[in-house]
Amino acid sequence: MPQIHNSQPTIQNSIRGRVWKYGDGVNTDVIFPGKYTYTVTEPAEMARHALEDLDPAFAANVQPGDVIVAGKNWGNGSSREQAAACLVHAGVGAVIAESFGRIWYRNAINNGLLAVTCAPAVAALNAGDVVEIDVQAGVITTGAGQTFRFPPLDPAVQAILAGGGLIPYLKQQFQSAG
Amino acid sequence: MPHTFAEKILAQNAGLPDVTPGQIITATPDVALSHDNTAAISKIFRGIGVNRVRYPERLAITLDHASPPPTTRHAQNHADARRFVAEQGVTHFFDVGRGICHQVLTEEGLIFPGVLLLGADSHSTHYGALGAFGAGVGRSEMAAIWATGQLWLRVPESIKITITGQFSPWITSKDITLHIIGQLGADGGLYASVEFHGPAVAAMSMSSRFVLTNMMAEMGAKNAWVMQDAVTFDWLAAQTGAPERRPAWEAAARQLAPDPGARYAAEYTFDASAVEPQVACPHTVDNVQPLSAVAGTRIDQAFLGTCTNGRLEDLAAAAQILKGRQVASGVRLLVIPASSRVYMAALQAGYVETLLTAGAVFGTPGCGPCMGNHFGIPAPGEVTISTANRNFQGRMGTRDSEIYLASPAVVAASAAAGKIAGPEDI
Ligand code: SF4
């Protein structure tokens, strides 16, 4: 049985972690450099290069469940899926941003990574804060107890996230179809 | 109810009478594009637990991103892609040297009005210049398309951009495109279908129109579109050698053209006459300045090529500027024709000889250093001026180097001057 690339546990209803905060327009090349796209394929190695050209301290210090909080157009640029997958492999629990590059957003969902658009939460959260996301209720709670609501996920998106990402989801579908 | 291009083509593809922005539809792509990422996608595909691609005749695969392969790992990657192609009976396969995916697919007649293409490449917006719907997707999504033949898409809002006026000499579609991105920002078209209308667009060659749609990826767009006319149909007839298909192309184009009164999320008008040469400065494509503001900046390397500006008219502009001139000492000029067909035409027109005589270095048709794989990676501290579409930090393989983006004319003039310069400065 070949190993599945996107083996991500089914998304948890509650995500809690420390905030890594970045600005506007962070693009795929600084999240996962293009020069690695055909040579770096192992999850652990991908995780080591996560955000390499943006924040060299990230890969060494990120902890499971940590949340990236960013400004506008996070993940703009290339279609490379590693720009979402490397964050999953690094243990990132979710990304909250003002807006997302459209292919990055699709890649995140398809890799089982929660991506939430919520500008007020972005404004309220700072690097190192603790943040909690209740996925089902659509609520973000800051360490200081402030809460922010985000719009419910599209049903197509929910189904993929609930299946643990697009590939595990499809696999289940093919299996149940016999 | 009047509809935009995106609404019409997505409704048609999904077999629905009507769709509205925000609606999720199931699309069945006519063409599914992948390139050097084919090997990686095939591993994901096997993980789904199906053995056969649903519609192998709809796949189009090029080996272009690191081509010919610079290392053993890249070579193995290509070998894996070729094995997949043979195993699955993929007919539209273009091996090393044929050229860059977006250029090759249009040359091969796979793209015409009404085609829906999903590509595992962000510049799949390119195809809108021919009246096709082209959008980029990720690797898992491409694997899903291979397995099922389908993928969910959200019907985008549309943005209408009208370009009026006339271009001055040496001002090109690259300049107006950079100007638009500079004005509207890297998220100015986020999730949207960007339509180009107006007399200045009608006056453009097909090559120039591809620059508009190709670069809408840099504004966050889902897809882009340019109206079709005799220029489109003549170009298609010439490329495909199948003029008898013209009535079908014309009918599809007519049917899918946006209706008067269609609803747009935003409408903008730009005047081509008012634009001077534009340069995107490090490290974002929307960091755009007029040439006069950055002229004189030292360069180490000039790069003419890519899916944005590696076509015959681009090489012609560079040859015209560099005829009888030399590339400045200490500067490298890399030229990579976008396809083997472009290369042959440039050879026959004498552009290759002119550029070689001026001191250019030629690479195999493909992406070259555009995304930092090989053939012209800059050293730390070096500055490149390029005709590409993206100048992100590290894009060409080196974090501590700078990339400026400009038209072929400005890149060629800069190569001769040894610093950023326009055709009129040399
Ligand atoms: S030339 Fe550059 S932008 Fe175009 S497909 Fe190749 S890598 Fe992508």
Q: Complex ipTM, two decimals?
A: 0.88
Whether pLDDT at B227 is above 80: yes
Contacts of A57 (CB under 8 A, 6+ apart): none
What residue ranges line ligand 1, CB within 6 angstroms?
A: B 65, 100-102, 121, 123, 306-307, 367, 370-371, 388-389
Q: What is the mean pLDDT of chain A?
A: 89
Average pLDDT over residues B134-163: 96
Q: How many CB atoms lie within 10 A of CB B229?
A: 12
Average pLDDT over residues B97-126: 98
Task: Give how far the C-alpha of residue B319 lies from the chain's centroid of Cα atoms, to the nearest Å.
Answer: 22
* Bridge partners, residue B298, by sequence: B419
pLDDT one-digit tens code per residue, B4-35: 999 999 999 999 999 999 888 999 999 999 99
Whether pLDDT at A11 is above 80: no
Residue pointed to by tokens 């293009």:
A34
Least confident span in A4-8, B357-361, B389-393: A4-8
The shortest C-alpha distance from B336 to chain A (Å) reads 19
Of the candidates A74, A82, A91, the residue with the CA atom closest to the CA atom of residue A12: A91
Whether pLDDT at A8 is above 60: no
Confidence of residue A153 (pLDDT cuts 50, 70, 90): confident
What is the DSSP secondary structure assignment for residue A106, as one 8-state letter? Answer: H
Q: What is the mean pLDDT of chain B?
A: 97
Domain boundaries, chain B: 7-271, 281-425
Tell whether domain B281-425 is in CATH 3.30.499.10.
yes
Ramachandran assignment for B397, one of left (phi > 0), alpha (psi -120 to 50 degrees), beta (any other): left
Nearest CA in chain B to A3: B47
pLDDT one-digit tens code per residue, A34-91: 889 888 989 999 999 999 999 999 999 999 999 999 999 999 998 899 999 999 999 9
Equal fold, B7-271 vs B281-425? yes
Nearest CA in chain A to B67: A38
Give the pLDDT of residue B346: 98
User: In Å, how far are B65, B72, B81, B290, B365 from B93, measured between CA atoms?
Assistant: 14, 22, 10, 41, 15
Average pLDDT over residues B304-325: 98
Average pLDDT over residues B391-420: 97
pLDDT one-digit tens code per residue, B164-212: 999 999 999 999 999 999 999 999 999 999 999 999 999 999 999 999 9
> Which among B122, B144, B222 is the nearest to A78, CB-wise?
B122
Q: Do B44 and A99 touch (CB under 8 A)?
A: no
DSSP-based three-state secondary structure for B172: coil
Q: Do A35 and B371 touch (CB under 8 A)?
A: yes
Q: Do A174 and B373 touch (CB under 8 A)?
A: no
Q: Do B122 and A174 touch (CB under 8 A)?
A: no
Q: Are B333 and B302 in contact (CB under 8 A)?
A: yes
Nearest CA in chain B to A71: B187
Residue pointed to by tokens 């053939």:
B375
User: In Å, how far are B24, B163, B180, B191 from B264, measured between CA atoms?
Assistant: 18, 16, 17, 13
List Cβ<8 Å contacts ≥24 apart for B350-355.
Answer: B350/B319, B351/B312, B351/B315, B351/B316, B351/B318, B351/B319, B352/B315, B354/B319, B354/B322, B354/B323, B355/B315, B355/B318, B355/B319, B355/B322
CATH assignment of B7-271, among 3.30.1300.10, 1.10.10.60, 3.30.499.10, 3.40.50.2020:
3.30.499.10
Compute the half-sphere exposure of residue A161: CA atoms within 13 Å on the CB side of its CA: 22
Of the candidates B125, B44, B157, the residue with the CA atom closest to the CA atom of residue B390: B125
Instruction: Give the end-to-end CA distance of chain B in Å, rounded to a whole number.
Output: 54
Least confident span in A158-172, B9-23, B70-84, B292-306: A158-172
